[in-house]
């Protein structure tokens, strides 16, 4: 088991390296000059020179990349040039909000998604199944911004249930979290249903029933444990789409999170900030997937001892 | 006549699909005497597994029991509530399945899976349950039971897994064990061991067994009494000697003729022409008429009834008496 | 070289074919693509309805100029933010432009963005996935690591960075979405190729010395096609969603062009006094995406029941 996890960690490191290289290339080797793109046409020569030095743009490519790698390894993402603050500081201020939002959304999505998926699978082809699956397809198809705006308009503006003037305490996260979790709930419900339906056809379910176990025990002790394996992988993949969605949700609900920081960075053409936010978010996704893989290895004895 | 443990009367289990109704088990009556091994034989899809699943109440949607009674010790299982029915499963009647590879939960240790059967039915603590599991493991010939207890199914060979399945079926000392093709997926050498084990267990514990197989050799070796099924119906029944020595139904005769006898010199292997008919589109008359070499006009229009020959031997055909002469 | 027919073999073939047909008929299975489509048409009304809806949307996009009396950037400053009425069925926006007209023209962009980058990402994914699965070894490792890298990014963020590099505009969106979406296709195709490579008929072909290219195009690609059709139908809506998200954030389609995502973005400012401005295009996105998803789901059920978890 340790060997397979070690191999996985090594692979992750390779991917991490490639990811940072890709971001580096995408943001430095843009058509035209990075500094002019950043500053616009009216930058004065002095600023351009200073920034060129600061970002090592006068050195050869590999030197630039090496110093960039060294910097990010020490947690130094440079300074935001529009906000005049270290990127690390900006991200660490924004990150808790994104975490709060994503965790809330994930909880909503996973609980609702799994419960609906399980009920639909157990009552396959019944009314609840059709209802939940119709809803889940709606959940997958509806754009995040539409849910967000509908909630803002109906619940916030029309019904005045929740204050929408900004996020002051944790209750402010309720609507954004629902908007963000909606999509994931749909896909988790669908996956839970399809794997559980498949697992319930397995021979060992008949064995468990033949033993005299009740429906609940069969479901809990035998079916769910097997059905959860793909669902856990899916949940890890959801981290990525949750963070994508957070970009939009944070923008709509004016939450000061990492995603909004990235959008601001793009509109103000702030390369260090954009680089920092994208790299940071991607690292989170990669680490999340690594954890899920390790969890999978622990939960599935066939992989645990086989690999 | 000896005392009957299980008696099935006019059981009908149908599958209600969108394309039509499929009578997987059509008016089946059979009996399993105490302490005896009774076999059901037939081609795949003839309804033998569905009969077993009806007894265990394991029919999957859209299949269900339409009518008939399943008497265990005189108690009709079809009339029980779901809760009582569940108590019977595993405690009074247990079942082993065809595929030992897939019949055990891959993510739970085999010892725990067997222990679960005890904990479900009896009020014993975990340590006592484990002790009994180890005892049954020894009884079914699993070497190093303590070590095997902690194994996951994928770590065991097919034969060992089937032994675990038998242990699970035995652990609550049921009155009846249903074995649905228990050796089909195994190597021939392992098959012989497992069959011997089942037979020994039945003899030593007084348990009855309903053995389902498509393999006439297995049936001949194991059973006291045999039912031959075709297209959801029992076409011939009798004690094992009568049935194998004097088969009356053309289908049984065909089955027996298709066994390869190494001592005989033959040009071609004998086969039954055609295939098992689709249960949804059965011929109007006898289900076998399209494949039967001796079919008469009445076979295509009327359904034959079970014709009793006495001594427990009966067959479902319009050819009483004649068929044996023509085939002898 | 003329093929000599061997009567015995032919006999055997017809016999086999007849037996296969009989078996298929008995199992209630029919093998041809047409049969599967017929089954879809008869069993899944929702998928059929979705297909019709998609066709309607396409027709509306194509014939947009004929369906509306207004031009897509024709302003009527006297009728700004007018609610839906007989004159403007879906109201007007902040510059007095007819929302329905902009919606119809926007459909062109959204549908194009759904289809074009998906075609490219599928092409890249199929080629790389097949090479990866068929060749194996180092090539496989490199391609799959590359896919890992792409899949590590939250897709919207990667698309944002690519848009930043390439600059705004439709072509950039096409490229950005093609780059972000090929990896998942490659993974599916790779695993299909891997399992097909192990089948008896491919082994047989290899043992007879058939060229790799021929095997790939004769045996592997045709067998992937059902999954590819399903993947295509399911990737189009996700591309539409991505474009609308980008445009919504202001880094996609730029004014005065119209796209549904951009309309939502523009209308957001007036969410409380003119909610239709943002909700109508949102609903349009949802409808198209939903239709594609229902159709893709239905297709998957008949064409490729194994492709469940992607």
Read off the pLDDT of residues B110-159 as tens digits, 9 standing for 90 and up.
Answer: 999 999 889 888 888 889 999 999 999 998 888 899 999 999 988 898 88
Two structure tokens written together for C31: 């093998």
Q: Would you give the DSSP letter of residue A75?
A: T
CB contact under 8 A, A26 and C272: no
For chain C positions 124-163, those within 8 Å of chain A (CB to CB) are 145-146, 148-149, 151-158, 160-163
Please report the pLDDT score of residue C76 as a whole number.
Answer: 67
Please report the pLDDT score of residue C11 as a whole number.
Answer: 40
Confidence of residue C4 (pLDDT cuts 50, 70, 90): very low
What domains can be seen in chain A, in order of their start residue? Answer: 32-76 (no CATH), 95-268 (1.10.3720.10)
- Whether C22 shows a pLDDT value over 80: the answer reads no
What is the separation of C-alpha B328 from the centre of its chain, rounded to a whole number of angstroms?
30
For chain B positions 177-236, those within 8 Å of chain A (CB to CB) are none
CB contact under 8 A, A14 and C145: yes
List of chains touching A (3+ CB pairs within 8 A): B, C
Question: In angstroms, rounded to a whole number, what is the distance separating the alpha carbons of residues C253 and C243?
Answer: 8
CB contact under 8 A, B154 and A306: yes
B152 contacts in A (CB within 8 Å)?
A: 301-302, 305
Please report the pLDDT score of residue C196 as a whole number.
Answer: 83
Percent of chain C with pLDDT over 90: 10
Secondary structure of A189-226 in HEC code, one letter for each residue = HHHHHHHHHHHHCCHHHHHHHHCCCCHHHHHHHHHHHH
Confidence of residue C9 (pLDDT cuts 50, 70, 90): very low
What is the separation of C-alpha B169 from the centre of its chain, rounded to a whole number of angstroms?
15
Please report the pLDDT score of residue B273 as a whole number.
Answer: 76
Nearest CA-CA distance, residue C249 and chain A, Å: 7
Please report the pLDDT score of residue C309 as a whole number.
Answer: 41
Cis peptide before A273 (omega within 30 of 0): no
Confidence of residue C104 (pLDDT cuts 50, 70, 90): confident
Please report the pLDDT score of residue C155 as a whole number.
Answer: 87
Question: In angstroms, rounded to a whole number, what is the distance separating the alpha carbons of residues A198 and A224?
Answer: 11
Please report the pLDDT score of residue C123 as a whole number.
Answer: 93
State whether residue C256 is helix, strand or coil: coil
Please report the pLDDT score of residue C2 as a whole number.
Answer: 40
Two structure tokens written together for B84: 């009582």
Confidence of residue C86 (pLDDT cuts 50, 70, 90): low
Mean pLDDT for all residues in chain C:
79
Confidence of residue C304 (pLDDT cuts 50, 70, 90): low
Q: Would you give the DSSP letter of residue A41?
A: T
Tell which residue, A47, A27, A41, A19, has the closest CA to residue A270: A27
* Maximum mean pLDDT: which of B50-64, C30-44, C122-136: C122-136
pLDDT in tens, B38-60: 999 988 878 888 899 899 888 88
Per the CB < 8 A criterion, the answer to whether B71 and B6 are in contact is yes
Q: Would you give the DSSP letter of residue C305?
A: T
Helices (H), chain C: 7-27, 33-43, 45-62, 64-67, 99-135, 137-152, 155-166, 170-197, 200-207, 212-215, 221-248, 260-268, 276-303
Q: At a CB cut-off of 8 Å and minimum separation 6, what does C159 contact?
A: C176, C177, C180, C242, C246
Lowest mean pLDDT among A295-299, B21-25, B312-316: A295-299
- Whether B322 shows a pLDDT value over 70: the answer reads no
How many CB atoms neighbour CB C45 within 10 A? 11
pLDDT in tens, C207-253: 887 888 888 888 888 888 888 888 888 889 889 888 888 888 888 77
C-alpha pair distances (Å), C95 with each of B194, C76, C80, C157: 84, 7, 6, 31
Confidence of residue B325 (pLDDT cuts 50, 70, 90): very low
Cis peptide before C66 (omega within 30 of 0): no
**Among candidates C146, C154, C297 on the partner chain, residue whose Cβ is nearest the Cβ of A244:** C154
Intervals of chain A under pLDDT 50? 31, 306-307
- Provide mean pLDDT across the span B259-271: 65
Please report the pLDDT score of residue C310 as a whole number.
Answer: 39
Query: B38 or C309, which is more confident?
Result: B38
Per the CB < 8 A criterion, the answer to whether A82 and A277 are in contact is no
- Provide mean pLDDT across the span C5-32: 46
A285 contacts in C (CB within 8 Å)?
A: 152-154
Please report the pLDDT score of residue A43 as a whole number.
Answer: 62
pLDDT in tens, B87-96: 888 889 999 8
What domains can be seen in chain B, in order of their start residue? Answer: 4-92+174-327 (3.40.50.300)
Per the CB < 8 A criterion, the answer to whether B283 and B214 are in contact is no
**Among candidates A27, A153, A195 on the partner chain, residue whose Cβ is nearest the Cβ of C165:** A27
Please report the pLDDT score of residue C26 as a whole number.
Answer: 46
- Whether C73 shows a pLDDT value over 80: the answer reads no
Secondary structure of chain B in HEC code, one letter for each residue = CCCEEEEEEEEEEEEEECCEEEEEEEEEEEEEECCCEEEEECCCCCCHHHHHHHHHCCCCCCEEEEEEEEEECCEEHHHCCHHHHHHHHHHCEEEECCCCCCCCCCCCCHHHHHHHHHHHHCCCCHHHHHHHHHHHHHHCCCCCHHHHHCCCHHHCCHHHHHHHHHHHHHCCCCCEEEEECCCCCCCHHHHHHHHHHHHHHHHHHCCEEEEEECCHHHHHHHCCEEEEEECCEEEEEEEHHHHHHCCCCHHHHHHHHCCCCCCCCCCCCCCCCCCCCCHHHCCCCCCCHHHCCCCCHHHHHCCCCEEEEECCEEEECCCCCHHHHHHC
Please report the pLDDT score of residue B232 as a whole number.
Answer: 87
C37-76+97-309 is a CATH 1.10.3720.10 domain: yes
- Whether C21 shows a pLDDT value over 70: the answer reads no
Please report the pLDDT score of residue C13 as a whole number.
Answer: 43
Query: A58 or C149, which is more confident?
Result: C149
Nearest CA-CA distance, residue C17 and chain B, Å: 15
- Whether C28 shows a pLDDT value over 60: the answer reads no
Lowest mean pLDDT among B157-166, C122-131, C246-255: C246-255
* Maximum mean pLDDT: which of B1-5, B243-247, B260-264, C194-198: B243-247
- Provide mean pLDDT across the span B167-171: 89
- Residue B275 in contact with partner chain C when CB distance is under 8 A: yes
Nearest CA-CA distance, residue A15 and chain B, Å: 31
Where do the domains of chain C lie? 37-76+97-309
Nearest CA-CA distance, residue B248 and chain C, Å: 29
- Residue C24 in contact with partner chain B when CB distance is under 8 A: no
């Amino acid at each position: 088991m340790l060997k397979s996890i070690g191999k996985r960690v090594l692979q992750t490191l390779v991917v991490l390296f490639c990811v940072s290289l890709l971001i580096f290339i995408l943001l430095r080797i843009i058509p035209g000059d990075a500094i002019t793109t950043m500053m616009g046409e009216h930058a004065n020569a002095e600023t351009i020179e200073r920034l060129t030095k600061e970002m090592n743009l006068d050195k050869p490519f590999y030197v630039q990349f090496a110093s960039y790698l060294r910097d990010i390894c020490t947690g130094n993402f440079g300074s935001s040039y529009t906000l005049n603050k270290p990127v690390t500081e900006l991200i660490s201020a924004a990150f808790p909000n994104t975490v709060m939002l994503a965790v809330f959304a994930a909880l909503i999505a996973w609980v609702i998604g799994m419960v609906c998926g399980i009920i639909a699978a157990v009552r396959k082809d019944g009314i609840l199944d059709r209802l939940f699956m119709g809803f889940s397809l709606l959940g997958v198809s509806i754009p995040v911004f539409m849910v967000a705006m509908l909630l803002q308009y109906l619940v916030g503006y029309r019904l005045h249930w929740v204050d929408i003037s900004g996020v002051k305490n944790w209750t402010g996260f309720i609507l954004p979290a629902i908007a963000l979790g909606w999509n994931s709930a749909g896909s988790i419900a669908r996956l839970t249903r399809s794997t559980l339906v498949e697992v319930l056809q397995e021979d060992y379910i008949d064995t468990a029933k033949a033993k005299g176990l009740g429906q609940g025990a069969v479901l809990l002790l035998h079916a769910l444990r097997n059905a959860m394996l793909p669902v856990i992988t899916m949940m890890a993949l959801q981290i990525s789409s949750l963070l994508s969605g957070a970009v939009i949700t944070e923008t709509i609900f004016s939450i000061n999170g990492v995603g909004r920081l990235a959008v601001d960075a793009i509109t103000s053409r702030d390369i260090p900030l954009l680089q920092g936010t994208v790299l940071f978010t991607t690292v989170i996704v990669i680490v999340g997937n690594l954890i899920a893989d390790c969890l999978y290895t622990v939960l599935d004895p066939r992989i645990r001892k086989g690999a | 006549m000896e005392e009957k443990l299980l008696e099935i009367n006019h059981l009908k289990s149908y599958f209600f699909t969108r394309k039509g109704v499929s009578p997987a088990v059509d008016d089946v009556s059979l009996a399993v005497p105490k302490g005896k091994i009774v076999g059901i034989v037939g081609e795949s899809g003839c309804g033998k597994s569905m009969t077993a699943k009806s007894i265990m109440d394991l029919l999957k949607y859209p299949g269900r029991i339409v009518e008939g009674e399943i008497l265990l010790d005189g108690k009709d299982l079809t009339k029980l509530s779901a809760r009582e029915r569940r108590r019977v499963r595993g405690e009074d009647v247990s079942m082993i399945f065809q595929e030992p590879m897939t019949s055990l939960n891959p993510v739970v240790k085999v010892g725990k899976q067997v222990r679960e059967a005890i904990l479900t039915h009896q009020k014993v603590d975990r340590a006592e349950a484990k002790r009994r599991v180890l005892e049954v493991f020894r009884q079914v010939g699993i070497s190093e039971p303590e070590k095997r207890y902690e194994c996951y199914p994928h770590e065991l060979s097919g034969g060992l897994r089937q032994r675990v399945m038998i242990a699970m079926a035995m652990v609550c000392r049921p009155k009846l064990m249903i074995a649905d093709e228990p050796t089909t997926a195994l190597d021939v050498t392992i098959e012989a061991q497992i069959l011997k084990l089942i037979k020994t267990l039945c003899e030593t514990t007084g348990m009855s067994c309903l053995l389902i197989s498509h393999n006439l050799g297995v049936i001949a070796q194991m059973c006291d009494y045999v039912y031959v099924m075709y297209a959801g119906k029992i076409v011939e029944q009798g004690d094992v000697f009568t049935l194998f020595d004097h088969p009356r139904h053309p289908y049984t005769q065909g089955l027996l003729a298709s066994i390869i006898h190494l001592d005989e010199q033959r040009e071609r292997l004998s086969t039954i022409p055609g295939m098992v008919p689709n249960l949804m589109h059965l011929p109007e008359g006898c289900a076998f008429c399209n494949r039967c070499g001796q079919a008469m006009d009445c076979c295509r229009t009327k359904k034959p009834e079970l014709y009793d020959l006495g001594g427990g031997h009966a067959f479902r055909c319009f050819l009483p008496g004649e068929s044996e002469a023509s085939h002898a | 070289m003329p093929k000599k027919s061997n009567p015995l073999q032919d006999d055997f073939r017809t016999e086999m074919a007849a037996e296969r047909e009989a078996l298929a008929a008995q199992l209630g299975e029919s093998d041809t693509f047409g049969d599967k489509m017929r089954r879809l048409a008869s069993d899944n009304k929702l998928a059929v309805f979705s297909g019709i809806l998609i066709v309607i949307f396409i027709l509306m996009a194509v014939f947009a100029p004929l369906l509306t009396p207004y031009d897509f950037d024709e302003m009527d400053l006297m009728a700004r933010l007018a609610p839906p009425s007989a004159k403007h069925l879906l109201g007007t926006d902040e510059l007095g432009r007819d929302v329905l007209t902009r919606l119809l023209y926007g459909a062109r962009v959204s549908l194009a963005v759904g289809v074009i980058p998906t075609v490219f990402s599928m092409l890249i994914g199929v080629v790389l996935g097949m090479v990866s699965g068929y060749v194996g070894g180092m090539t496989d490792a490199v391609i799959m690591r590359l896919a890992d890298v792409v899949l590590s990014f939250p897709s919207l963020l990667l698309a944002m960075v690519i848009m930043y590099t390439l600059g705004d505009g439709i072509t950039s969106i096409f490229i950005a979405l093609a780059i972000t979406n090929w990896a998942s296709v490659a993974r599916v195709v790779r695993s299909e190729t891997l399992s097909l490579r192990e089948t008896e008929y491919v082994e047989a072909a290899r043992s007879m010395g058939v060229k790799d290219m021929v095997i790939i195009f004769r045996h592997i690609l045709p067998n992937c096609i059902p999954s590819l059709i399903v993947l295509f139908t399911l990737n189009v809506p996700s591309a539409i969603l991505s474009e609308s998200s980008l445009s919504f954030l202001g880094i996609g389609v730029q004014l005065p062009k119209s796209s549904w995502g951009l309309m939502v973005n523009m209308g957001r400012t007036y969410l409380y006094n003119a909610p239709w401005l943002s909700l109508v295009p949102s609903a349009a996105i949802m409808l198209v995406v939903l239709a594609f998803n229902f159709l893709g789901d239905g297709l998957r059920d008949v064409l490729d029941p194994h492709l469940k978890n992607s």
